[in-house]
């Protein structure tokens, strides 16, 4: 599909800065003079932020124009992007489908062409999933590469500030303005380890597109993905309990998000210790794999994105993150790339690289897209 419509994704529209690139930010990042409400009624009376999040300040200083704050799945703790309080953005290219969460609004404004790029956050797939649903690029950087100063919640061992764009060259330009070295353009793809982990027809389309792009593919088995997914759930539940349980006493937290926060209160020290052991072993396993082949490739989503009518219970679709969440646990950079459609719904490829090789991921995305659309 190639039609676009307005995203209806802004919580607040305003203009800050002067420059040649326009961007929007998820409402978990502080913007001075505006409240950070994270799409939650319990934060409706939150005080105005006194200063910009560090990444916002940097982009404004690098000749970018901030156009507003975008809606999200409440408290950035959900995968559908549906939010009755702060608004559910329309998926511009696929209006009947969920926009994806939690960075739904940031993905939607990019897909609608309202900005050049947008800022989201990714704790368990929250940039890559909405990018896949909306048919755009979504980069989750190496953990800690981009500053989380001024980002809600203030502590997370999983969360990364991430980027959305329609074109790889825009991601490259944004990384350059954030002082992340971008390197030279790729003239061929490095060896790719292909992981088949999604529905068969999704994996088949991904294989077809990679062959079309003349990729050198090697089959990789990564059975540790399931353990890593479950460990990531354990840790995010625990950390979000620590960050948000006090909001439950105020009221105003929706039932699905409240139930997930409460679940985090019962995570035991033994469960956390086991999850951290999985984090270490899975990260080491990826490091080893990525020494022999610079890229791993797999589907971003295990199934096609659901219709809005199919996602009325957000808790039933959390498993849609089972292919993205493991790389939050390990801290490796990953990017979602639109590849095509099945039955009128988007299919996306996820590429994963060694820690610190974010620029190479962006170059690989640009190379792939150029080869597929020549």
Does the residue 34 lie in any domain? Answer: yes
Q: What percent of the chain has pLDDT over 90?
A: 93
Q: What is the mean pLDDT of residues 33-46?
A: 97
- Can you tell me the distance from the alpha carbon of 317 to that of 39, in angstroms, rounded to the nearest whole number? 19
According to DSSP, residue 75 is labeled: G
Total number of residues shown for the chain: 374
Q: What is the pLDDT of residues 334-350, one digit of tens each?
A: 999 999 999 999 999 99
In a domain, 164, yes or no: yes
The CA-based angle 26-31-37, given to 5 degrees, is: 55
Q: Which residues contact 324 (CB under 8 A, 6 or more apart)?
A: 124, 125, 128, 129, 140, 300, 301, 334, 336, 350
Question: How many separate domains does the chain show?
Answer: 1
* 6: pLDDT strictly greater than 80: yes
**Phi, then psi, of 286 in degrees rounded to 5:** -65, -45
- pLDDT in the model for residue 186: 87
Q: Does residue 185 have a pLDDT over 90?
A: no
pLDDT band for 19, please (50, 70, 90 cuts). Answer: very high
Res 184 pLDDT > 90: no
pLDDT of 3: 52
pLDDT tens digits along 303-319: 999 999 999 877 778 89
Give dist(CA 144, CA 190) in Å, integer.
25
Which DSSP symbol is given to 188? S
In a domain, 326, yes or no: yes
Q: What is the mean pLDDT of the chain?
A: 96
Of 1, 312, 314, 273, whose CA–CA distance to 135 is shortest?
Answer: 1
Residue 2 has pLDDT above 70, yes or no: no
The verdict on residue 308 lying in a domain is yes
On whether residue 196 sits in a domain, the answer given is: yes
Using one digit for the tens of pLDDT, what is the confidence trace for 69-105?
Answer: 999 999 999 999 999 999 999 999 999 999 999 999 9
Range of the domain at 178: 10-372
The pLDDT of residue 315: 75
pLDDT score recorded for residue 1: 43
pLDDT for the residue numbered 177: 97
The arithmetic mean of pLDDT across residues 260-279, rounded, is 97
Q: What is the pLDDT of residue 318?
A: 86
CATH of the domain at 298: 3.90.1300.10
Q: Classify residue 1: in a domain, yes or no.
A: no
| 345 located within any domain | yes
pTM flag (> 0.95): yes
Half-sphere exposure of 32 (CA within 13 A, CB side): 10
Domain annotation covers residue 4:
no
């Amino acid at each position: 599909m190639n039609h676009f419509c307005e995203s209806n994704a802004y919580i607040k529209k305003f203009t800050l800065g002067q420059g040649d690139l326009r961007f929007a930010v998820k409402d978990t990042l502080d913007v001075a003079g505006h409240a950070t409400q994270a799409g939650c009624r319990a934060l409706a009376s939150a005080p105005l932020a006194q200063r910009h999040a560090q990444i916002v300040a940097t982009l404004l200083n690098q000749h970018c124009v901030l156009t507003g704050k975008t809606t999200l799945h409440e408290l950035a703790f959900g995968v559908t992007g549906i939010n009755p309080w702060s608004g559910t953005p329309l998926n511009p290219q696929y209006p009947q489908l969920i926009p994806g969460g939690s960075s739904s609004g940031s993905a939607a404004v990019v897909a609608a062409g309202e900005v050049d790029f947008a800022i989201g956050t990714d704790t368990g797939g929250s940039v890559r999933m909405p990018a896949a649903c909306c048919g755009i690029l979504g980069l989750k950087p190496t953990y800690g590469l981009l500053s989380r100063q001024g980002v809600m919640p203030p502590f997370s061992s999983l969360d990364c500030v991430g980027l959305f764009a329609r074109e790889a060259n825009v991601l490259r330009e944004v990384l350059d303005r954030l002082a992340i070295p971008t390197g030279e353009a790729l003239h061929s793809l490095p060896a790719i380890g292909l992981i088949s982990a999604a529905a068969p027809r999704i994996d088949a389309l991904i294989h077809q597109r990679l062959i079309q792009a003349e990729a050198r593919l090697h089959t990789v088995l990564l059975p540790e993905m399931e353990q890593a997914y479950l460990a990531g759930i354990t840790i995010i539940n625990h950390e979000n309990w620590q960050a948000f349980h006090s909001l439950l006493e105020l009221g105003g937290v929706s039932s699905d998000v409240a139930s997930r926060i409460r679940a985090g209160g019962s995570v035991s020290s033994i469960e956390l210790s086991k999850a951290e052991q999985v984090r270490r072993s899975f990260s080491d396993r990826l490091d080893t794999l990525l020494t022999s082949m610079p890229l791993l490739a797999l589907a971003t989503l295990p199934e096609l994105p659901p219709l809005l009518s199919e996602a009325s219970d957000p808790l039933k679709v959390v498993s849609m993150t089972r292919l993205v969440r493991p790389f939050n646990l390990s801290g490796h950079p990953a990017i979602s790339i639109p590849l095509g459609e099945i039955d009128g719904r988007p299919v996306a490829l996820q590429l994963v690289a060694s820690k610190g090789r974010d620029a190479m991921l962006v170059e690989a995305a640009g190379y792939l897209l150029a080869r597929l659309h020549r």
